[in-house]
Structure 1
Amino acid sequence: MLIGPYVNGSVVTIGGIVGAFLGSRLPERLRNALPQTFGLASMGLGAMLIVKVKFMPAVVLAMVLGAVIGEMLGVERGLGKMAGATRGFIDKVIPPRQGLSQEEFMDKFVAILVLFCASGTGIFGAMHEGMTGDPSILYIKTILDLFTSAIFATSLGYAVATIAVPQIMIQLALATLATLIMPLTTASMMADFSAAGGLIMLATGLRICGIKMFPVANMLPALLLVMPFSFLWASYIA
C-alpha cells in the first residue's frame, strides 16, 4: 500500500493552513527572507542533480523540444488560469489578504506548484516507493515541504494548501506506473532524467528569488522526453 504520497500531501495541506493562519503575525523580514532561502535551496539541489548527467546533449534536446511543446500547449497559461480560479474560490470562503497583485500571485503560485509537484525528489521518491515499497525519500521531502508550504502561505494564503491535490495525484500515478517504467530504464536514463529535473529546479529557484521569471511549467514536457532521448543517444550516437 502506498503511504508516502498521502503523507506528503497531508503535510502540505497542514503547512499551508498554518502558514496562512499565521500570515502577518510572522515578522515581515522573516516572510521575505525565507522564500529567498528556499529558492537558493532549490537551485542548490538542482545543481546537485545536474552534475549526475550522462548524456548532456540528449538532456538539452529534451529541454528545448519540451519547452517548445509546453509553449505551444500553453501549460503555464493553463496553470495560471487554474491558480486564478483557485484563488477566487478560496477568497469567496476566506477574505483575501492584501498585498499581492493577481500577476504576482500567479507568478509565485505557479513556481511553487512546480516546486512541490515536479521536483526531482518527489518524482524519484514516488517511483522509488512504487518499486520497493520504501517511502523514506518522500518522507525527507515531507519534512522540507512542511516548512516551505507554511512560509509561502504567509503571503499567498490558503490557496497553497490546495497544491496537495495535484501533488498527491502525480505521485500516486508515478508510483503506480513505476513497476512498468523502472524495469525499462538504465542508470544513464535515470541520471539524465535527474539532470533534466535539476535544470527545472534551478529555473524554479531563480524564479522564486525573482532573478529571472523562467516559464518553468512550460518546461515540464521535457521530463517525458528525456528518457527516450537518453536511450536513443546511448544506442545510436554515444
Structure 2
Amino acid sequence: MKGTIVNAAAVFVGSGIGLALKQGIPEKYHNTIMQGMALAVGVIGLQMALKTENILVVILGLAMGAVIGEALNIDHYLNKLGERLSLKLGKQSGGGQSSIGRGFVTASLIYCIGAMSVVGSIQDGLTGDTSTLYAKSLLDGITAIVFASTMGIGVMFSSISVLLYQGLITLLAGFLSAVLSDNVIKEMTATGGILIVGVSILMLELKKIRLANLLPAIPAAAVIAYFWPPM
C-alpha cells in the first residue's frame, strides 16, 4: 500500500500549501495548471494502453464493460452519492452546502472515482508497481493546492478517502495476484490506460464521457484475457 500512502500524503500536504495561499490562485493560473496536468494524464494513459499484446481483448473488454456499466448506471449513482454526501456534510456544518462539505466531496470524487485510482491500486496490489500511483500523487498534490486555496480545509479531509478507498482496492488485488497471469495483468493495465486517456479528455473539457460506466471494462478484459491466450 506504499503508493496509496504516498498519494494520501500528497493530497494532505498539497492541501496544506493551498490553505496557506488564503487569497487563492488567480483563475488564469488555475486553468493553465489544470490543462498541463490533463496533458500529463493523457501521456500516462497512452503509455499504459500501449502495453497490450492483444488489442482485441481490450476492445471487447471496453464493449462489455460499457454494457455492464450502463446497465448498472454506475455514473448516475456515484453522482447521487456525491450530492447526498455534500448535503449531509453541509447540514452537519450548519446551513446548506458548506465549503467544508463541498470541498471534501468534490476532492474525494476527483481523487477516488477515477481510472488512475482504480488501475494504479490494482497495479500496486498485483505487481507492486507503484509508478501510476506515484504519478497520480504528484498530480493530486498539485491540484490539491489549487482546490484547497479556493474550497478550504474540506479538500484536506479527502486524503482519508484516498487512503481508505485505494487501500481497499490494493488489498483485494493482492489476494488475486496468485491467480492472475502476466497476460491478464497486461490487458487489464492496457484497458485501464484507455480509461485514463478518458480522464485527460474530461479534464480538458473536450467531451463529456461517463467514465464510471466504463470501469467494469477492467475486470471484463481480465476475464477475456484469461480465456484468450496471447497471440
TM-score bin (small chain): 0.7 to 0.9
Please tell me whether residue 142 in structure 1 is matched to residue 141 in structure 2: no
Q: Which residue of 2 aligns with 1:209?
A: 204
CA distance in 2, matches of 1:68, 1:155: 38
Identity of aligned residues (%): 24
One-letter code of the match for 1:8? N
Map of 1:1-238 to 2, 5 A cutoff? 2-16=1-15, 18-19=17-18, 22=21, 25-92=24-91, 93=93, 96=98, 110=109, 112-115=111-114, 118=117, 120-129=119-128, 138-139=133-134, 141-154=136-149, 160-234=155-229, 238=231
How many equivalent residue pairs? 224
* TM-score (norm. length: structure 2): 0.79
CA distance in 2, matches of 1:135, 1:43: 18
One-letter code of the match for 1:149? A
Change in Cα spacing, 1:85 to 1:14, as seen in structure 2 (3 Å) is farther
One-letter code of the match for 2:63? V
CA distance in 2, matches of 1:156, 1:208: 18
* TM-score (norm. length: structure 1): 0.77
217-226 or 10-19: bigger deviation? 10-19
Change in Cα spacing, 1:59 to 1:156, as seen in structure 2 (3 Å) is farther
Q: Which runs of 5+ in 1 are unaligned?
A: none
212-221 or 186-195: bigger deviation? 186-195
CA distance in 1, matches of 2:222, 2:158: 27
Q: Which runs of 5+ in 2 are unaligned?
A: none
One-letter code of the match for 2:164? M
CA distance in 1, matches of 2:176, 2:37: 31
Contact preservation (8 Å) 1:15, 1:150: yes
Contact preservation (8 Å) 2:115, 2:195: no
Find the residue that maps to 2:222 and give its secondary structure: helix
CA distance in 1, matches of 2:19, 2:67: 36
Find the residue that maps to 1:87 and give its secondary structure: helix
